[in-house]
A = this chain, B = another copy of it.
Amino acid sequence: MSDAGTRLATDPAPLRAWVDELGAIGADAAGGTTRVAWSPALRAALDWLAATCARLGLAVHEDAAGNLFARWGPDGDDAVLVGSHADTVPQGGRFDGALGVLAGLEAVRLLRDAGYEPRRAIVVAAWMDEEGTRFKTPTLGSRAFAGHDLSALAGATDADGVTLADAMASWGRDVARLPEAQGVDGIAACLELHIEQGPVLEEAGVELGLVTQIAGLLGLRATFTGTAAHAGATPMGRRRDALSAAARAIVALEDWAAGREDVPVTVGIVEVLPGGFNVIPGECRFTIDVRAQSEQALDAAEQAVRAALADAAAHGGVEHAVQRTHRLAPVPLDPELTAVLARGAAREGATTLALASGAGHDAMQLAPLVPTAMLFVPSDGGLSHNPAEHTSPAACHLGARVLAHALRELTS
A residues with CB within 8 A of B: 196-200, 203, 215, 217, 219, 227-238, 241, 243-244, 246-248, 250-251, 254, 257-258, 260-261, 264-270, 272, 275-281, 287, 289, 291, 357-360, 379, 382-386
Taking a contact as CB atoms closer than 8 A, the residue among B238, B244, B275, B291 that contacts A251 in the complex is: B244
> In the complex, how many angstroms separate the beta carbon of A97 from the nearest chain B beta carbon?
13
**Chain B contacts for A270, CB-based, 8 A:** 243, 270, 272, 275, 281
Q: How far is the CA of A265 from the CA of B278 in the complex (A)?
A: 10
> Cβ of A357 and Cβ of B233 under 8 Å apart?
yes
Query: Given the known A-B contacts A243-B270, A248-B251, A279-B385, are A231 and B291 also in contact in the complex, defined by CB atoms under 8 Å?
Result: yes
Query: Given the known A-B contacts A250-B247, A261-B237, are A277 and B219 also in contact in the complex, defined by CB atoms under 8 Å?
Result: yes
Q: How far is the CA of A269 from the CA of B248 in the complex (A)?
A: 17
> Cβ of A268 and Cβ of B264 under 8 Å apart?
no
Q: How far is the CA of A237 from the CA of B200 in the complex (A)?
A: 11
> In the complex, how many angstroms separate the beta carbon of A317 from the nearest chain B beta carbon?
12
> Cβ of B230 and Cβ of A385 under 8 Å apart?
yes
> Cβ of A269 and Cβ of B277 under 8 Å apart?
yes
Query: Given the known A-B contacts A228-B386, A233-B384, A238-B382, are A268 and B261 also in contact in the complex, defined by CB atoms under 8 Å?
Result: no
**Chain B contacts for A289, CB-based, 8 A:** 231-232, 277-278
Taking a contact as CB atoms closer than 8 A, the residue among B265, B275, B358 that contacts A269 in the complex is: B275
> Cβ of B197 and Cβ of A382 under 8 Å apart?
no
> Cβ of B229 and Cβ of A198 under 8 Å apart?
yes
Q: How far is the CA of A199 from the CA of B257 in the complex (A)?
A: 39
**Chain B contacts for A291, CB-based, 8 A:** 231-232
Q: Would you give 30 A-B contacts (Cβ < 8 Å), ordered by A?
A: A198-B235, A199-B234, A199-B235, A200-B235, A217-B232, A229-B382, A230-B358, A230-B385, A231-B268, A231-B289, A231-B291, A231-B358, A233-B358, A234-B264, A234-B382, A236-B258, A237-B258, A238-B382, A241-B266, A244-B267, A247-B247, A247-B251, A247-B267, A266-B279, A267-B281, A268-B276, A268-B281, A269-B276, A270-B281, A278-B289
Q: How far is the CA of A235 from the CA of B155 in the complex (A)?
A: 36
Sample of 10 further A-B pairs with CB below 8 A, known A244-B254, A270-B270: A197-B230, A199-B235, A215-B232, A228-B385, A232-B264, A233-B379, A235-B264, A236-B254, A243-B250, A244-B251
> Cβ of A198 and Cβ of B234 under 8 Å apart?
yes
Q: Name A246's closest neighbour in chain B (CB-CB).
A: B247
> Cβ of A203 and Cβ of B243 under 8 Å apart?
no
> In the complex, how many angstroms separate the beta carbon of A285 from the nearest chain B beta carbon?
11
Q: Name A96's closest neighbour in chain B (CB-CB).
A: B230
Q: How far is the CA of A51 from the CA of B241 in the complex (A)?
A: 42
> In the complex, how many angstroms separate the beta carbon of A227 from the nearest chain B beta carbon?
8
Q: Name A287's closest neighbour in chain B (CB-CB).
A: B277
> In the complex, how many angstroms separate the beta carbon of A397 from the nearest chain B beta carbon?
22
> Cβ of B250 and Cβ of A236 under 8 Å apart?
no
> Cβ of A268 and Cβ of B280 under 8 Å apart?
yes
> Cβ of A238 and Cβ of B203 under 8 Å apart?
yes
> In the complex, how many angstroms separate the beta carbon of A214 from the nearest chain B beta carbon?
9
